[in-house]
Structure 1
Amino acid sequence: MTSATVESLVPRHATEVDLTAWCEVFGDGQREASGDSPSVTALAGRLLAEEAPAVPRWVARGDDARPVVGVAELRPQSRDPRVGFLRLFVAPSARRAGVGSALLTRIAEDARRAGLERIQATAPAGEPGEAFAHTWRGARELLRLERQEQSLDETVLRRCRDLAACPDPARYRPVYWHGPVPEPLVLAFGQAMGHVLDAPGAALQMASRQGWDREAVRAWEAQLAAGGEHVMVHAALWRDTGQVVAATVITVAGDDARDAAQHDTVVLPQHRRRGLARWTKARHTLLLHERFPCVRTVGTTVNQRNLPMIAVNRTVGYHTVHERLLVELPLADGARR
């Protein structure tokens, strides 16, 4: 087993070499897990611009010439200050050598001292990720998640063209924006996005969005675009009131990016089972292809219990790439087995 030395990393005080290496390992791990990640330059810029209090971060150094072989960050959750969400990645060449264990042990110690009671994290289903998660005494599985991808080939684009007609044009009309939400729609969009929490297991993954006002929507936009990403939204409006009743969100890292990320999709309860999710997703795929012709793949993550959304995604051409677990590790009595 390779020994690993774990240290805290404060981006503003780190050397350029360490910060770049941290961003490289983190970005590679994030792309492997989620299919997309900001560039090293964008990620480093985001970390350096971060306001206090800073997110705790760590580096693991191996006993070879590579300066950083493992990285992690632990973000406090606004929905519950006792819980931290952990992202931990190990460079492929250093896996199965104790680097992840060394990181997790140090992170747990620091998190306990900071007053946290639990850590949540995702881990690949199956070996070795699932086994690693369950080496922590008391670890429990909260959700099983599917990582899905949509390939923007001619077969999928043809399918989306067939689905792009409005299911009820007398009642609904489409609206699209690239960048900030148009000012007249901010409050209606915020109200609609609160219903993202209606999805099974969503409350385990994000803070409440009930009562989202203009400030909350603008903060959400800024967070999505912090690494220079383009933010695109396709929505459906109820013609009688102009209310946003459905929306889906995609981000693209740059004009020449080959991958895009599909984030939230929401339909208001009284407008569900009318084909709006399928319609907005299909139209959004076509608009994405038109605006960013270099994009070849769109990725998203769905809870396996969210059967309606999985069915919609299948219809517009998504397929499952791999599965992940959302696990929770207790800290009060937690220890490696």
Structure 2
Amino acid sequence: MSEKLGQTRIVRLAEADPSDAEIAGWHQIRTETAEEAGSDAPERDAAATAALLRDPRPLDPVVRWLAWDGDTAVGLAWVRLHRSEGRRHVANCRIAVLEDRYGQGVAEALLDEVVAVALADGRSNLLTSTSVGSTGEEFLVGAGFGLGADFSRLRLLVADCDQEELRATVKSASEGYSLVRWQGVPPGDLIGPFAATREAMNDMPVDELELGRISWDEDRVRANARSAAQRGQTLLTVAALGLDEQGAEVVAGFSEIVLEGGGSVRARQSDTVVLRGHRGRGLGLWVKAAMLEWLIGAHPEIEEVLTACLVSNVHMIAINEQIGFLPIRGERYYQLAL
């Protein structure tokens, strides 16, 4: 399906079956607009882009479009339609257009496609993000999106990390807790407790952002790790185990890092969570320090780690800065009522 826009065509990609030209075009746009992408970093190479676009079983359905001027890709868009019961009213999207193509109607045409699909699927809220001060931010504001949340993005350069301080932090264990770590899917006896802790993330404040609820169970935990592996990524998790009020073992907190693979020297800090009843005991700092100690020892190829925190989450920002993260360009999440 395509739509003429002057000399520009908006083409919807076949699900899990893009052409080589579409993969190359998608990768080029993602690479050239990386600065605006914020935490939605582009795939490391064309092979990773191909794996992403050809994933036959994503956790949530994704519809994608490319904007073409002749044989040249000039913009892209995708919309993710969440399956989780608590997020069936929400769709996430991304629109990326080459800098010199803004103001020519390309971004507007791509947004029209995104909105049409979201509305047809019964969605009432459209979410996206972009770097602070970018051309993309200007477009979103002009298109009627409202600010939902302000994030601080931070970067840790591994060469500057104080590894002795990391080791000291890991050794200063919190009384009553123990550390465990795994790659990919959690050990069988921890899948349930880990899913329960991820589910508890739904109580975290996100400013004015209407995210809905991501329902986590054992199947979703397995599917999340499987989906990452299909994209060539590796999930590393460090967890603090403790006991609840009834004496049952729980994952009191965890920190997760994503390795992009394929020779990438960059890692992405994903979620760091501490259960409400276990907060105030230093578990957030403990699991993050243990994660970085593991990462540096096991993956010497990694040169930097990126993360993002709500600007209002001063506690987690302080933890990151204590470890050695420094702020870089900020990111803002926007939302549009449909």
Band of TM-score, shorter chain: 0.7 to 0.9
Cα pair distance change 1:230/1:305, threshold 3 Å = same
The Cα of 1:266 is off from its aligned counterpart by: 0.9
CA distance in 2: counterparts of 1:7 and 1:188, whole angstroms: 43
Match of 1:44 among 50, 56, 63: 50
CA RMSD of aligned residues (A): 2.8
CA distance in 1: counterparts of 2:206 and 2:155, whole angstroms: 21
Equivalent residue, structure 2, for 1:68: 73
Equivalent residue, structure 2, for 1:178: 183
The Cα of 1:299 is off from its aligned counterpart by: 0.9
Query: What do residues 93-135 of structure 1 show as CA deviations (whole Å, max 9, x unaligned)?
Result: 5455543233223333444444433321112222433321111
Query: 1:267 is aligned with what amino acid?
Result: V
Q: Helix, strand or coil: the match of 1:207?
A: coil
Equivalent residue, structure 2, for 1:230: 234
Equivalent residue, structure 2, for 1:195: 200
Equivalent residue, structure 2, for 1:20: 24
The Cα of 1:199 is off from its aligned counterpart by: 2.1
Query: What do residues 121-155 of structure 1 show as CA deviations (whole Å, max 9, x unaligned)?
Result: 11222243332111123x21111112221111244
Cα pair distance change 1:93/1:152, threshold 3 Å = farther
Cα pair distance change 1:269/1:186, threshold 3 Å = same
Cα pair distance change 1:13/1:265, threshold 3 Å = closer
The Cα of 1:219 is off from its aligned counterpart by: 1.8
CA distance in 2: counterparts of 1:146 and 1:206, whole angstroms: 22
CA distance in 2: counterparts of 1:293 and 1:325, whole angstroms: 32
The Cα of 1:92 is off from its aligned counterpart by: 4.5
Contact 1:200/1:305 (8 A) holds in 2: no
CA distance in 1: counterparts of 2:259 and 2:190, whole angstroms: 22
Q: Helix, strand or coil: the match of 1:10?
A: coil
Q: Does 1:144 align with 2:150?
A: yes
**Structure 2: runs of 5 or more not aligned:** none
Q: Helix, strand or coil: the match of 2:196?
A: helix
Cα pair distance change 1:253/1:13, threshold 3 Å = closer
Contact 1:6/1:61 (8 A) holds in 2: yes
Q: After superposing the two structures, state which structure 1 stretch, 285-294 or 300-309, moved more.
A: 300-309
Contact 2:93/2:114 (8 A) holds in 1: no
CA distance in 2: counterparts of 1:6 and 1:200, whole angstroms: 37
Equivalent residue, structure 2, for 1:310: 317
Contact 1:166/1:173 (8 A) holds in 2: no
Q: Does 1:116 align with 2:116?
A: no
Q: Helix, strand or coil: the match of 1:217?
A: helix
**Structure 1: runs of 5 or more not aligned:** 332-337
Q: How many residues align?
A: 325
Q: TM-score, normalised by structure 2?
A: 0.85
CA distance in 1: counterparts of 2:169 and 2:118, whole angstroms: 48
Q: TM-score, normalised by structure 1?
A: 0.85
Match of 2:326 among 319, 324, 335: 319
Equivalent residue, structure 2, for 1:300: 307
Q: Does 1:126 align with 2:130?
A: no
The Cα of 1:24 is off from its aligned counterpart by: 3.4
Q: After superposing the two structures, state which structure 1 stretch, 272-281 or 126-135, moved more.
A: 126-135
Query: What do residues 69-100 of structure 1 show as CA deviations (whole Å, max 9, x unaligned)?
Result: 11110011333333321111223554555432
Cα pair distance change 1:298/1:195, threshold 3 Å = same
Contact 1:70/1:89 (8 A) holds in 2: yes
Contact 1:11/1:19 (8 A) holds in 2: no
CA distance in 2: counterparts of 1:278 and 1:2, whole angstroms: 54
Contact 2:90/2:211 (8 A) holds in 1: no
Match of 1:254 among 245, 261, 272: 261
CA distance in 1: counterparts of 2:281 and 2:51, whole angstroms: 43
CA distance in 2: counterparts of 1:178 and 1:51, whole angstroms: 21
Contact 1:2/1:99 (8 A) holds in 2: no
Q: Does 1:59 align with 2:66?
A: yes
Cα pair distance change 1:60/1:191, threshold 3 Å = same
Cα pair distance change 1:187/1:116, threshold 3 Å = closer
CA distance in 2: counterparts of 1:312 and 1:330, whole angstroms: 34
